[in-house]
Structure 1
């Protein structure tokens, strides 16, 4: 089945015609070490001109990854939980930072993750917290600013600019992987319809366009179709109204 880009192209052209811009960011999860897939991600990021906020799992992160990141400006390390281990009971959705443990125990893991990655990456680490599976208990969110985090990133459009006082909410909005099905790419037409609808809502003021529009990927499990769609979509956005957005604690959204 062929993919029809016409509706998205028309929406993007309308943005351009109206002088609108789309802040665009890219988050990629589950990094611990350099791999061929990470090479592919870095190459694609460079080609597209859009840096990647690389969500690194602290417990497994290697010095080799830190060394790798010194060789490129395209990868920006952020904190991906602690060990990427679910503590949810069987039958519930996976969560490492959900309400399944005492809050002080959960907070300790978040703090350890930040400290360990600060030691590994130094000042290159940005204090954004990305909970595995994009799930986090509300009580834990309130504790993050006190640990040194200045942003929280999960999935789906945010409902407020701040997740807690001093903690920006900067989410992702499109994940091309069909996790509950083929584990290849979601049917591309479905993804394009989703993007078009989301951008239309932003243009009409029905959604928050001050929140960077986030593409979420997982380089370690991509097949050729996922890579192909991701490149095609980001290239289309960047050729239109999109402008690269990167995390900056001096100018939080």
Structure 2
């Protein structure tokens, strides 16, 4: 009810719709200290982020009975649910152009997140949410960590809640996280999308992932991915973090790919900023 705190802070045209509106409320399922602390970390991250059109921004938060409740806009579905619907459809009905648009939007959101000194650490198809026909937003900052600058690294041994199958080599070997480890996860996200929600490394156990990657192996090229896109994915999975692309470079690359699709480009431009 009333005006969301986010709009009171941002005072922009795009946030003025967050008044007297339906919302989603995120609360801890179990009220242990660890889960509550993680929610407070998410609140801290969302305060840093403020508003970006490709990030799931917190509208406000409350603390009834000392239990943090985070308030968000309501999404239609996750990208994982969206792409899973195409598993049984013929190739000519697969919206590859929209897939590319979603990836472009994720690069925009991740570039902004990185500029705020935040390492996401849980980038995946289930954590990208869709709003309306065209807008993708990055969500779930419960596992994020903070760094002093965009090029900093963080050493964190508390990785038990993270998915080994989305983690970069240096995360598995040295527990080192950075924007570059989020780049690795972005490549996994692209794989998830173009395999319609297939789990990465499906036939490999978590404890076998490190040996598999150390031998130079990577995820296979999905049948509907062309050479250019697979080269981008392989670049994200370079063993040397410094040799991986930046989100700024990826944004430029995907913008150019989307721009070539003139029909899609007009569709994205006319809708993404009309929210």
- TM band (smaller chain): under 0.3
Larger helix share, 1 or 2: 2
* Structure having the higher Rg: 2
**What TM-score do the two structures reach when normalised by structure 1?**
0.24
**What TM-score do the two structures reach when normalised by structure 2?**
0.23
Structure showing greater relative contact order (alpha-carbon pairs closer than 8 Å, 6 or more residues apart): 1
